[in-house]
Chain A
Amino acid sequence: MEVARHWRLKRQRYALMGEACPHCEAKIFPPRDVCPDCSGEAKEPFAFSGKGEVYSFTTTYDPPEEYSDYAPYTVALIKLVEGPFITAQLTDVEKHELTIGMPVEMATRLMFEDGENGPLIYGYKFRPRIGPT
């Protein structure tokens, strides 16, 4: 169990909270306080819209330990509309429907159980976009 670690990541996992660089206006996720584009200090909180499109995806049959009970599942690299990529699972979609370029949006879902009878860890996954684009 890594209770403090999960707690520390809650703003990202529940609200896609990243940062905006005041110098070059880059949008940053995950937050890192130093802008990867201009190296300036970047601590302004910025909430991402949760909308993006699938850059690539993979259905995994050989999971790490904490995901053993959930395989197979599909992980994607998603290009958020604000610019950055994010790594997240895809949900509410059949495997044969998946395509590169598919519009997706964030949804809050169960990720995994942290150890036997451990806390249930929730966070972001992405589903096909159903709202207005």
Chain B
Amino acid sequence: MKRRTPNDIYVAGIGMTPVGEHWEKSLRVLALEAISAARAEAPSLAPQALYVGNMLSGPLSGQLQLGALIADFVGLRGIEAVTVEAAGASGGLALRQAYLAIASGLQQVVLVLGVEKVTDRIGPKVEAALAGGTDTDFEASQGTTLAGQAALLMRRYLHESQAPADALAGFSIVAHANAVHNPCAYYRRALRPEVYTQAAKLSEPLSVYDAAPYADGAAALILARGHRLQGDTHYPSVRIAASAVATSTVALHDRKDPLWLSAASQSASDAYAQSGLTPEDIDLFELHDAFSIYAALTLEAAGFAPRGQGWRLARDGVISLQGRLPICTFGGSKARGDAGGATGVYQLAEVTMQLQGRGGANQVPEAKIGMAQCLGGAGSTAATHILVKEDG
């Protein structure tokens, strides 16, 4: 019999579609696939509510009310449902809302979905929609995009830390290596250092290999209070030990210290405090590498590296599957693919797989405690969750 605490909140089921160009599948069909997979892992649990994380369905699909649309489409017509938006942090924020709903005692079993449909539009239309994650009056209006924000931080970071031009290459190389064996990954091939160095620039100094590719995808989680778990899963129990959200400014120019991701730092600190854990306790970290610079800045903000030194973890092999702190263990946004507002839900599903020993070729040995953090825009919103394996 597995040990569970009646009042704690557990991940009872996960489901993911591959991230990619799903020309033949609509947003709602992707949602159904992920939700069906998650529900199949917890067949006795009936979700009382649906929390949808999505970033772009308004500007790219012209579709609002995803909560009602998807609840109805997946056979849950009538339940409470809502969409949560916080740019790239939408999935993490949907998870947070689901967690709060259970923690409040008002709901016992809920469904979290992250879903994004990007590839119905191309190029400038997508860039314009993504620029909505910046301050549109004072950043996007000047021609800045999310990539532009990251590029501004990357140049300043390399300047201040006196790092070489390819200092961030290791993040993308590790992400690609980890995606090779992930059937849900968009880019399942390794990245050679010389390919990184020679890549075309999107927004100098940031190249295509510093940027996660946007694509379609959906991921789903069933969360339940411990006493509702029926033992119909044969996987080890995974408990949510911490859930924390913090915000910073949307515009980079409104920050006193643009190279410090204060929301990432705050939400990580809150998560450590809630769980009684420290960075040393974390066995793996699914961080949000929407751009490679954010991997370095996140490692610093979350307490894994001193300021200006996060890039050295990529260079020294610390973050690979065999390293002291594996990150992006199934490819991260860079190589699994960036399904926008679904990212935070993919991350949680991936941490759950690691803790349940379902990582296959990507399994982190002895993984008991995993952390996930997703960011909206330039770290304007940050959601951090810590999962703990309870069996064994």
Known: A61-B201, A62-B203. A111 touches B141 (CB 8 A): yes
Known: A60-B203, A62-B202, A62-B203. Contact between A87 and B145, CB under 8 A?
no
Residues of A within 8 A of B153 (CB): 56
**What's the dominant secondary structure at chain B's contact region?**
helix
Q: Report which residue of A30, A60, A70, A76 has the largest number of chain B beta carbons within 10 angstroms of its beta carbon.
A: A60
Contact B152 A77, beta carbon cutoff 8 Å: yes
Question: How far apart are the CA atoms of A62 and B153 in the complex, in Å?
Answer: 17
**Contact, CB under 8 Å: B253 / A58:** no
Whether A73 contacts B143 in the complex (CB less than 8 A), given A62-B202, A100-B156, comes out as yes
Contact across chains for B147 and A62 when beta carbons are under 8 A apart: yes
Among candidates A9, A60, A85, A100, residue contacting B254 with C-beta atoms closer than 8 Å: A85
Stretch at the interface among B121-129, B165-173, B335-343: B121-129
B255 near A63 with CB under 8 A, answer no
Q: Which residues of A contact B148 (CB under 8 A)?
A: 58, 60, 75
Chain A's closest residue to B202 (CB) is: A62
Q: What is the chain A residue whose CB lies nearest that of B143?
A: A67
Indicate if A36 sits at the interface (CB-CB under 8 A): yes
Known contacts A62-B145, A64-B145; is A77 also within 8 Å of B253 by CB?
Answer: yes
Please give the distance in Å from B279's CB to the nearest CB on chain A.
Answer: 28
Cα(A74)–Cα(B255), bound, Å = 21
Bound CA span A100–B154, Å: 12
Query: Which residues 88-103 in A have Cβ within 8 Å of B in the complex?
Result: 88-89, 100
**Nearest chain A residue, comparing its CB with the CB of B139:** A87
Contacts of B140 in A (CB 8 A): 64
- From 47 to 74 in chain A, residues with beta carbon under 8 angstroms from any chain B beta carbon are 55-68, 70, 73
A-B contact count (CB 8 A): 107
Distance between A25 CB and nearest chain B CB, rounded to angstroms: 15
Interface residues on chain B, size class: 35 or more
Decide yes or no whether B159 CB sits under 8 A from chain A: yes
A1-13 to B contact mask, C-beta < 8 Å, 1/0: 0000100010010
Contacts of A68 in B (CB 8 A): 124
- Judged by a CB distance under 8 angstroms, whether B251 is at the interface is yes
Q: Which of B143, B147, B148, B200 has the most CB of A within 10 A?
A: B143
**Residue from the set A36, A73, A85 with the largest chain B CB neighbour count within 10 Å:** A85
**Shortest beta-carbon distance from B4 to chain A in Å:** 44
- Tell yes or no: B138 within 8 A of A by CB: yes
Q: Is B162 an interface residue (CB 8 A)?
A: no
Residues of chain B within 8 A (CB-CB) of A87 are 138-139, 142, 144, 251-253
Q: Could you list 8 A-B pairs, sorted by A, with CB under 8 Å?
A: A58-B206, A60-B143, A60-B203, A61-B201, A77-B253, A86-B253, A87-B144, A111-B143
CB within 8 Å of B: which residues of A? 5, 9, 12, 30, 36, 55-68, 70, 73, 75-77, 84-89, 100, 111-112, 123
* 5 smallest beta-carbon distances between A and B, as pairs: A58-B151, A85-B253, A56-B156, A64-B128, A65-B124
Further contacts, 7 of them, CB under 8 A, given A56-B153, A73-B143, A100-B156: A9-B141, A61-B202, A64-B140, A75-B142, A75-B148, A86-B138, A123-B141
